[in-house]
Chain A
Amino acid sequence: MKCYVPTDAPPLEPARLVDDFAPPLILPGAHKLCAGCGEPAAMRAVVEMIEAMGFTNRTVGVFGIGCYTSFSPGLDVEVMQALHGRAPSLATGLKRVHPNSIVFTLQGDGDMVNEGLQEVIHTAARGENVTCIMLNNGVFGETGGHMTATTVLGQRTKNSLEGRNAKKHGYPIKMAEMLAPLDGVAYVARGATNNARNIFRTRKMLRGALAAQDQKRGFSFVEILTMCPTGWFIETAEAPDYLHDKMASFHRMGVIKDAAAASA
């Protein structure tokens, strides 16, 4: 019988662990989220972009409450924990005290849109020089997959088992499109982590948002669509396509506003 991996001698190169591939700003150890979750890829894109842009030694993250909160002890980035939805206000205070720092918030759709919508709207309207990042999976993943204000019509959640119905549940909020018209907003984009191409596009969006902050052009916002097969009650492998077919057809991907580009 043919053996593809010879075991009668030491391997030509030593075995590599997941940590060997982790970017420098992620501390050794595994994340604790479900298989197929879209959030770790988004988190990785954020810290990789911070490092690539040379912001490492002046970056502070303000975290909301959700599954992604569990990333906070595993990052070699300063983190301040906010209460549900209040991250943009904490980020405002931090940025005003340390105007040369790079401040980003990491929030979910439940945190930002359901629990603290006014915080992000006022922060955007004031034109605060911070970057808000919203991981949008359309459910309250951490508490078990309940409907949020961004759940798309027809989407099954724990409390919309027949699919979200506009008559019964109202219409979803398009966060990126809602914030973009505000004068204080410099950059708005929506990406996704359902495939390598979209992760690459999302990294470029993050670069645009962080550059807007660094150049003190105003508020920047990146919404990232992420998979939540657990909360969506579907097979893990189906989640990337589900995201593409159901979510991205309503929450359209792309750069929605780039004030510098528009005036240039």
Chain B
Amino acid sequence: MQLAFYLADKFRNPVMFMGDYYLAHVFEAVDTGAVDFGALPRKDWALDGSSSGTGNARIVSSIMPTKRNAPVYVDYGTYLETSGEKIAVMERQMEPMYEQGSCEDADCVIVAYGTPARIVRYVVGQLRAEGLRVGFFRPVTLWPFPSAQLVAATRSARGIGVYELNAGQMIDDVRLAVRDRNAISIGGLSFDSSGFGIAPELTPRKVAMRIRKFMAESGQGPGA
């Protein structure tokens, strides 16, 4: 969370922090101590009125990049073109974040994010204890997406399952990362009768059933 604010400040670029329904409805202890990420660039662009009337008044605008008397006048088209370079710099300077477990010798890797990833991580641990060669991978940053890390984590796997509680939002990112290998959705929409309660599908028992079924259908593990 603090990193998100730090990066937004450093690059002068919005950082979106994604939550989910569970986060809004549960609470747990968190460490709120300040994390030091280093010094930020000087904010010489900030507005306080002091440059008004000097002939070099500052402007912060998404559509008018400079004043019309600026020494280096930038029009909107040029501004948009150079935005691409800025995005490339950000992508180079930011490490994708992810978490993985027991992927080294896994026949099958389950990819999940957010709250469902916690349940998947727990279930994968249980299945490992039973002797099933299964791993899990959790992308933490959506952009940059940890594509190279996902490819490395699934190198030995014959099956890649994507567990997400929606109609399929991350599976496209996973498929773009693993390219020619097939990633299969093993999640899906889940609603209780009220329409806004917790997902009834999101229990360790049901998640374990889905992973077992996926492994059996893709020819791995017991029952294959």
Contact = CB atoms under 8 A, between A and B. Distances in A.
Interface of A: 24-25, 27-29, 51, 56-60, 63, 69, 72-81, 94, 97-98, 101-103
A73 B64 contact: yes
A39 B49 CA distance: 23
Contact of B53 (A29, A69, A76, A101): A76
Contacts of A77: 52-53, 57
Contact of B52 (A29, A59, A63, A94): A59
Given A27-B68, A69-B64, A101 B49 contact: yes
B67 interface: yes
B111 to A, nearest CB: 35
Contacts of A59: 49, 52
Given A27-B67, A27-B68, A27-B69, A78 B62 contact: no
B47 A80 contact: yes
Interface in B76-101: none
B64 A60 contact: no
A51 B49 CA distance: 13
Contacts, number: 85
B33 interface: no
A14 B59 CA distance: 35
14 contacts: A29-B69, A51-B53, A57-B52, A57-B53, A60-B47, A60-B48, A63-B61, A73-B66, A74-B67, A76-B57, A76-B69, A78-B47, A79-B59, A98-B49
Contacts of B50: 57-58
B140 to A, nearest CB: 29
B61 A80 contact: yes
B44 to A, nearest CB: 13
Contact of A56 (B53, B58, B61, B68): B53
- Central interface residue in B57, B58, B60, B68, by most chain A CB within 10 Å: B57
A103 B48 CA distance: 9
A76 B53 CA distance: 5
A102 B49 contact: yes
A78 B57 contact: yes
Interface of B: 47-55, 57-64, 66-69
Contact of A76 (B48, B55, B62): B55
A101 B48 CA distance: 6
Nearest to A70: B64
A72 B59 contact: yes
Contact of A78 (B58, B63, B66): B58
Nearest to B70: A73
Given A25-B53, A57-B50, A58-B49, A81 B61 contact: yes
Nearest to A63: B61
Contact of A75 (B49, B57, B62): B57
A78 B51 CA distance: 7
Given A27-B67, A60-B52, A72 B47 contact: no
The 9 A-B pairs at the shortest CB distance, nearest first, are namely A81-B61, A56-B53, A58-B49, A101-B49, A73-B68, A98-B48, A77-B52, A78-B47, A73-B64
B52 A58 contact: yes
Nearest to A24: B53
